[in-house]
Chain A
Amino acid sequence: MGTNVMPSGEELLRFLPEMILAIFAVLVMLWESRHDEHGERPGMPAFALIGLGLAAAASIVAGAAPGYAFRNMLVVDSFATFFRLLLMGIGAMAVMTASPFLRARKAEGGEYYSLILLSLIGQSLMAASNELIMVFIGIEISSISSYVLAGYLKDDKRVNESALKYFLLGSFATGFLLYGVSWIYGLTGSTNLNEIASILGNADIAPDAVLTGAATALILAGLCFKVSAFPFQSWAPDVYQGAATPVGAFLSAAPKAAAFATLLRVFLTAFDPMADRWLPLLIVVALLTMVIGNLAALWQTDVKRILGYSSIANAGYVLVAVAAHSTLGISAVLFYLAAYSVMNFGAFAVVSLREETELKDFEGLAKRQPATAALMTVFMASLIGLPMTAGFFGKFYIFQSAIDAELYWLAGLGLLTSAVAAFYYLRVIAAMYMKPSPEGAPEMAVPAASQQAVMFVAAALTIGFGIFPGWLLDWATRSSGLLR
């Protein structure tokens, strides 16, 4: 065997962001162990942020020369680079929100930052994998660290329940996905996305359509769980409510964005030849996800739960753009995921300032903390999709792509459900501005500098993308061509 085993420098460069994340995940732990166990342990968030910054820089450098790596295991194209940068941004927000949050609860440990970095490795691999085996390993890395993160504040009963629920349902869903992958391997003899596409696209050698359909459905079921789409959505509110708030913010943004990247890559590359079979299924899933997420959110009284159900509904909107099955649809997905990550993270960051997250605890917030209330209003307005916010253009592009694909009724129902959604987002705003402060409401501490930074940057981006969407849309459009 004269084959060269060593990967070339170019291939290593395409894997550099993940390597940097792994190195910094270990460095954070080593740094922590240098300090006294019970004393102050400063510098860990800074380490994590430096790692994220370097990984983002490496993603840009690697993205400048698109191509395959490691025997076609990875594909680094503009699509993967978009997601890598988005994920690093989400990671940075998760680090900055969590650091004061955990310190206040005397629970700051290097493990938290390490787990965030390690889970980002998995998510960034999901966005860049060109092989079902890599997809599976990426999902496992992302999920298992998510389960641990969900159970991070383990003294709280609700945290434990949420982590256990997430773990049990999540491993079940991964089982579906893996079963589907094994069927695909049995049917096509390959796990490489391009090879699967060429086999399925060739009528002479394509395996039985019923069987490939079943395998595709299994993989879709696994991914639907990860993006919390109907009928695998019920875990989302419980997990986001139970987990520590910064963790909930991270879980509702990063693993979801990565799962959408995987969904797009796998279904628009490998299973594209049989698109007419899975598209109807996807349309139904998108429709029901929007309806169920939005209707169930109406009855919630906890702001974290409202955000949990809203994340289901938003997954439904993104699925509409996926179902449009066009380049325009992909760029709408990218735009919306970026906008959603920013506005949703901002809302979670506001919620993380408070111990109690019931709707009535937000009553009269505008009197006590006008700045925080104003920021929350910006995020809620963007989640509703009001003009001048990122959410407006996000929804606009999604429904435009659906109309272009002649999915008129899907776009119409999407608009209808987002009108329903306005009701529960407005309830939060109404509680802050229209209701008086309850008797004996506690004086709130001033948010820490890093939390303020996250909230203000998120609000600035939310409004910025709402007034000047062109820059983000250009980037999303440039990144919507999958390398196949």
Chain B
Amino acid sequence: MDLILFILFATIAVVCGISLVVQKHPIGSALSLIGVMGSLAVLYLLLGAEFIAAVQLIVYAGAIMVLFVFVIMLLNAGEEAPGGKSWPSRLLGVPLLTVFLGLLAYLMQLMAPSMGMVTFGSFNTGAKELGRSLFNNYLLPFEVTSVLVLIAILGAIVLARKEID
């Protein structure tokens, strides 16, 4: 049952990921991204990381995607204009991608026998364990991230104000 669900949602994630890139209209891309995020959340759930799954849905599929769609609507972005690709990217893009994916698959296959396998539901990362770890081992990175948020706010003010005075 787990395996069937995994294959189903992994396929959806990959298909949505490809569709995200090839869609001509930004709204199509945004909707595909929601598909990727949603199926990733299911994969997390299958592994037993229910907190991460919930956060994935609330933060990514919820908040961030709503912002994306808002921006697309406000900018009234139309369809992508075709063309504008240089000949090296036309000629080399697909072959290089194939080589890269092939290499990656080869490495994964190399890795498979020697590495431990993850089993479904093996993660025990509820909110409690995560919180304990955040405030124990990862206290410093957790707190320092607040500086990052402050910079983001400052940056938005600097870049968005009308004119410098």
Interface residues of A (CB under 8 A from B): 1, 3, 5, 7, 15, 18, 22, 25-26, 29, 37-38, 69-71, 73-74, 105-107, 109, 111, 114-115, 118-119, 121-122, 125, 131, 133-134, 137, 140-141, 144-145, 147-148, 151-155, 163, 186-187, 207-208, 210-211, 214
Q: Which of B110, B158, B163 contacts A208 (CB 8 A)?
A: B110
Closest residue of chain A to B108 (Cβ to Cβ) is A211
Q: Which of B138, B141, B147 contacts A22 (CB 8 A)?
A: B147
A83 CB, min distance to chain B CBs, angstroms: 17
B residues less than 8 Å from A118 (CB atoms): 147, 150-151, 154
B residues less than 8 Å from A71 (CB atoms): 136-140
**B136-163 to A contact mask, C-beta < 8 Å, 1/0:** 1111110011011011101101110001
Contact B158 A106 (CB under 8 A): no
Contact B136 A5 (CB under 8 A): yes
A residues less than 8 Å from B151 (CB atoms): 115, 118-119, 141, 144-145, 148
CA distance A114 to B140 in the complex (A): 21
Contact B136 A3 (CB under 8 A): yes
A322 CB, min distance to chain B CBs, angstroms: 26
A residues less than 8 Å from B139 (CB atoms): 5, 7, 70-71
Contact A148 B155 (CB under 8 A): yes
Q: Given A5-B139, A208-B110, is A121 in contact with B147 using a C-beta cutoff of 8 Å? A: yes
Closest residue of chain B to A6 (Cβ to Cβ) is B139
CA distance A131 to B138 in the complex (A): 10
A residues less than 8 Å from B147 (CB atoms): 22, 118, 121-122, 141
10 shortest A-B CB distances, which residue pairs? Answer: A148-B155, A70-B140, A107-B164, A73-B140, A145-B151, A71-B137, A111-B158, A133-B141, A118-B151, A137-B141
B149 CB, min distance to chain A CBs, angstroms: 10
B residues less than 8 Å from A70 (CB atoms): 139-140
B residues less than 8 Å from A163 (CB atoms): 159
Contact A153 B164 (CB under 8 A): yes
Contact A134 B141 (CB under 8 A): yes
A residues less than 8 Å from B110 (CB atoms): 208, 210-211
Per the 8 Å Cβ criterion, residues 103-134 of B in contact with A are 107, 110-111, 114-115, 132
A residues less than 8 Å from B144 (CB atoms): 18, 121, 125, 134, 137, 141
Q: Given A1-B132, A71-B137, A134-B140, is A151 in contact with B107 using a C-beta cutoff of 8 Å? A: no
Contact B136 A147 (CB under 8 A): no
Q: Which of B111, B138, B154, B164 contacts A106 (CB 8 A)?
A: B164
Total inter-chain residue pairs, C-beta < 8 Å: 100
A99 CB, min distance to chain B CBs, angstroms: 15
A468 CB, min distance to chain B CBs, angstroms: 38
CA distance A163 to B158 in the complex (A): 12
CA distance A283 to B163 in the complex (A): 47
Interface residues of B (CB under 8 A from A): 107, 110-111, 114-115, 132, 135-141, 144-145, 147-148, 150-152, 154-155, 157-159, 163-165
Give the one of B115, B136, B151, B158 with max A CB within 10 A: B151
Contact A144 B152 (CB under 8 A): yes
A residues less than 8 Å from B158 (CB atoms): 109, 111, 115, 148, 151-152, 154
21 A-B pairs (CB sep. < 8 Å): A1-B132, A3-B136, A70-B139, A71-B139, A73-B138, A73-B141, A74-B140, A109-B164, A111-B154, A111-B157, A111-B158, A114-B154, A118-B151, A125-B144, A134-B140, A137-B148, A140-B148, A141-B144, A141-B148, A144-B151, A153-B164
A residues less than 8 Å from B132 (CB atoms): 1
CA distance A5 to B114 in the complex (A): 37
A residues less than 8 Å from B136 (CB atoms): 3, 5, 71
B residues less than 8 Å from A144 (CB atoms): 148, 151-152, 155
B100 CB, min distance to chain A CBs, angstroms: 11
Give the one of B111, B115, B132, B158 with max A CB within 10 A: B158
New A-B contacts (9) at CB < 8 Å, excluding given A118-B150, A145-B151, A187-B115: A22-B147, A71-B139, A71-B140, A115-B158, A121-B144, A122-B147, A133-B141, A141-B148, A208-B114
CA distance A3 to B136 in the complex (A): 8
Closest residue of chain B to A140 (Cβ to Cβ) is B148
B137 CB, min distance to chain A CBs, angstroms: 5
Q: Given A37-B165, A137-B141, is A211 in contact with B148 using a C-beta cutoff of 8 Å? A: no
B70 CB, min distance to chain A CBs, angstroms: 20
Give the one of A106, A121, A148 with max B CB within 10 A: A148
CA distance A460 to B132 in the complex (A): 53
CA distance A151 to B156 in the complex (A): 11
Contact A145 B164 (CB under 8 A): no
CA distance A5 to B140 in the complex (A): 11
B residues less than 8 Å from A29 (CB atoms): 154
CA distance A259 to B141 in the complex (A): 18
A residues less than 8 Å from B165 (CB atoms): 37-38, 106
Contact B155 A137 (CB under 8 A): no
B residues less than 8 Å from A151 (CB atoms): 158-159
A residues less than 8 Å from B135 (CB atoms): 5
Closest residue of chain A to B145 (Cβ to Cβ) is A137
Q: Which of B115, B148, B159 contacts A154 (CB 8 A)?
A: B159
CA distance A38 to B164 in the complex (A): 10
Q: Given A37-B165, A153-B164, is A207 in contact with B114 using a C-beta cutoff of 8 Å? A: yes
Contact B154 A155 (CB under 8 A): no
B105 CB, min distance to chain A CBs, angstroms: 13
CA distance A133 to B135 in the complex (A): 15
Contact B111 A211 (CB under 8 A): yes
Contact A15 B157 (CB under 8 A): no
B125 CB, min distance to chain A CBs, angstroms: 15
Contact B107 A214 (CB under 8 A): yes
CA distance A25 to B140 in the complex (A): 19
Q: Given A37-B165, A118-B147, A141-B147, is A147 in contact with B111 using a C-beta cutoff of 8 Å? A: no
CA distance A71 to B157 in the complex (A): 35
